[in-house]
Structure 1
Amino acid sequence: MDRDEALKHCITQTSVPGLPAPYRGKVREVYELDRDTLGIVVSDRISAFDHIMRQAIPYKGQILNQLSAFGFEKVDDLVDTHVLDVPHANVTIAKKCDPVPVEVVIRACLTGHAWRVYNAGERRLCGVSLPEGMAENQRFKEPILTPATKAEEGHDEDISEQEILEQEIVEEHVWREIREKAFRVFERGQQVAAEQGLILVDTKYEFGLHNGQVTLIDEVHTADSSRYFYADEYEQRLKAGKPQKQLSKEFLREWLMEHDFQGLEGQTLPDLPDDFRWEVFERYAELFEQLTGRQFEPTPVRNFDDTLKAIFTEYN
């Protein structure tokens, strides 16, 4: 693939004549095709610290969409999913669900946000007690659930399961089903990762209700929603106190922190140099290939809005 061409032709925003403007999230653009069907376009935008970077990542949307399709297929015997079809590398046709306003975060290791909280001296995270004497990236005895409320703008906020129920954010019987299915999906994700020499460290799930049924939506076990360590070096690096070799978006956060940006007031969002943008693409492609066992083959995206119109016409 031609690097310079790829860097110039990222999908950052879409428009389909004849359809209302989509809901634009940080990465996805969601078109309502009819009362029960959504057309979801996964763009090449990338975000961190709740900010969308000004520069996009070549083919990131294709990698995320195909990784997510792979992940949904691996768990569709455990939970209803919103996927109806994946007609293009960037596009998923999905059931329209009523989203549950809670992000379901499951963690197998003390890393990322959990480590930052722990390292600051806290020993409770989202109502979960954390044992003393843990090292960064150490496994928990069992995976823990650390939910967050979904914010339309700004940072998502940690919340405990007890608070979810007390504030009646989710009905108790619905939450119990979500909780059970999330742990089962996470266990399957760990199994799939282990078969490919990876450790699924933590992940974020989103759920919705479709005709009253708890349904897994958004994305599953992608580099945007999950963190993976390489299994073969994990124990050695942990004992030596070295950073883990990982596949996730954490390295983008680390790059931003090195450039004095954590999304805090008064900080300036840095531009991503082309060399770094291409490095990010290579990391995403590496995860795709490592997890699926298939080489990533990009799909051309010239005249993408016309392609979208043709796809959505079939489902409209």
Structure 2
Amino acid sequence: MIKGKVRDIYDEGNTLLIISTNRLSAFDRPICDIPCKGVILNQLAAWWFEATQAIIQNHVIELPQANSMRVKKCRVLPIEVVVRGYITGSTNTSLWTLYQQGARQVFGNQLPEGLQKNQKLPQPILTPTTKSAEHDRPLNLEDITKIPNLTPALWEKIKTTSLALFQFANDTLAQKNLILADTKYEFGLDNNNQLCLIDEIHTPDSSRYWDIASLQQAFAENRDPASYDKEIIRLWYTQHCNPYQIKELPKAPLALIHQVSERYQALFSKITGKNVVCAES
């Protein structure tokens, strides 16, 4: 068994069994457990995997349990493709952090002067990072060309596919009064050497979801919009310590942990139209 930051992975020979746990990861490490989170991640990812099959194939075979997914094995491409529609974030690799540090050229994208936090970008941009057990690191085009199995043609397909998935998600979410501000995708190659979407898709762990109704007013008041993801717990940690530099993090308040769980459950219901059955995972 391989224990990841959020998921436990069992090698079954020709397939993998992936268990989504309640662990919440931020700042490149697990930081706390969120009730019901494993089931929500698994079920919501399955919903999006099914909805996006016309854009790209994925690795899902079946869901044996509410918090587990059996998938086909793929050769993982060691890159996380982050698509951003807005300039925001609080982590070291977030676009807003980089912009505040003076970055105006981000992976071939020229950012104009005078952008404000949570402002919509002229068009979505890609900011790839390493897929690493340690710290994620932004990648440039030269880094991309050195990744094994990632040819220029395949990278172009990954870019096109990622933007198509992002556009499809926001078209779908507009009907539900939600915005996908940013998200990440991971890819692999199947036994036929075909590109395959793996890991997760459009979960509140891998994405930033905002409420459309609150966005305009929040932007005018220079505050963050109502969100349905883990940003509130990331912000709590950055306000109480430097999570990248200290070894042992303080414990998040129980009320905050339950608030995150409630937001995950609310997001699941808004997107799928169903209520999640929160068995412990």
TM (norm. structure 2) is: 0.93
Tell me the residue number matched to 2:25.
47
Q: Residue deviations 1:66-101, cap 9 Å, x none? A: 110111111011101000111211100101011001
Aligned partner of residue 163 in structure 1, secondary structure: helix
Structure 1: state its 5+ residue gaps.
1-21, 302-316
Residue of 49, 53, 62 corresponding to 1:76 = 53
Q: C-alpha displacement at 1:220, in angstroms?
A: 0.4
Indicate whether 1:252 and 2:233 are aligned.
yes
Mean Cα deviation higher: 232-241 or 136-145: 232-241
Tell me the residue number matched to 1:177.
157
Aligned partner of residue 157 in structure 1, secondary structure: coil
Q: C-alpha displacement at 1:274, in angstroms?
A: 2.8
Indicate whether 1:290 and 2:261 are aligned.
no
Q: C-alpha displacement at 1:269, in angstroms?
A: 0.5
CA distance in structure 2 between the partners assigned to 1:105 and 1:145 by the alignment: 6
Residue type of the alignment partner of 2:19: V
Over aligned residue pairs, what C-alpha RMSD do you find? 1.5
Aligned partner of residue 103 in structure 1, secondary structure: strand
Indicate whether 1:120 and 2:85 are aligned.
no
1:219-238 matched pairs, under 5 angstroms:
219-238=200-219
Tell me the residue number matched to 1:150.
131
Residue type of the alignment partner of 1:226: S
Tell me the residue number matched to 1:307.
none
1:211-226 matched pairs, under 5 angstroms:
211=191, 212-226=193-207
Tell me the residue number matched to 1:23.
2
Aligned partner of residue 109 in structure 1, secondary structure: strand
Tell me the residue number matched to 1:105.
82
Q: C-alpha displacement at 1:41, in angstroms?
A: 0.5
CA contact (8 A) 1:64 1:223 kept: yes
Residue type of the alignment partner of 2:222: G
Task: Give the structure with higher Rg (CA).
Answer: 1
Q: C-alpha displacement at 1:221, in angstroms?
A: 0.3
Mean Cα deviation higher: 40-49 or 279-288: 279-288
Q: C-alpha displacement at 1:300, in angstroms?
A: 5.6
Residue type of the alignment partner of 1:67: L
Residue type of the alignment partner of 2:116: A
CA distance in structure 1 between the partners assigned to 2:232 and 2:257 by the alignment: 12
Q: Residue deviations 1:249-296, cap 9 Å, x none? A: 1111101112213222x4530113333322221121111112222122
Alignment coverage as a number of residue pairs: 275
Tell me the residue number matched to 1:190.
170
Tell me the residue number matched to 1:311.
none
CA contact (8 A) 1:105 1:146 kept: yes
Residue type of the alignment partner of 1:159: L
Aligned partner of residue 11 in structure 2, secondary structure: strand
| Residue 97 to residue 168, structure 1, CA distance change in 2 (3 Å) | closer
Residue of 254, 263, 266 corresponding to 2:244 = 263
CA distance in structure 2 between the partners assigned to 1:161 and 1:288 by the alignment: 36
Indicate whether 1:96 and 2:76 are aligned.
no
CA distance in structure 1 between the partners assigned to 2:79 and 2:29 by the alignment: 20
Tell me the residue number matched to 1:312.
none
Mean Cα deviation higher: 56-65 or 285-294: 285-294
Mean Cα deviation higher: 276-285 or 87-96: 276-285
Residue type of the alignment partner of 1:23: I
Q: C-alpha displacement at 1:121, in angstroms?
A: 2.1
CA distance in structure 2 between the partners assigned to 1:240 and 1:274 by the alignment: 29
CA contact (8 A) 2:9 2:18 kept: yes
Q: C-alpha displacement at 1:104, in angstroms?
A: 0.4
Aligned partner of residue 87 in structure 1, secondary structure: coil
Tell me the residue number matched to 1:272.
252
TM (norm. structure 1) is: 0.83
Percentage identity across aligned positions? 39
| Residue 137 to residue 28, structure 1, CA distance change in 2 (3 Å) | same
CA distance in structure 1 between the partners assigned to 2:249 and 2:85 by the alignment: 31
CA distance in structure 2 between the partners assigned to 1:76 and 1:280 by the alignment: 29
Q: Residue deviations 1:199-230, cap 9 Å, x none? A: 11000000000020100000000000000111
Q: C-alpha displacement at 1:172, in angstroms?
A: 1.3
Residue of 129, 136, 140 corresponding to 1:160 = 140
CA contact (8 A) 2:233 2:256 kept: no
Q: Residue deviations 1:137-181, cap 9 Å, x none? A: 11111100000011222x11001234312x244211211111111
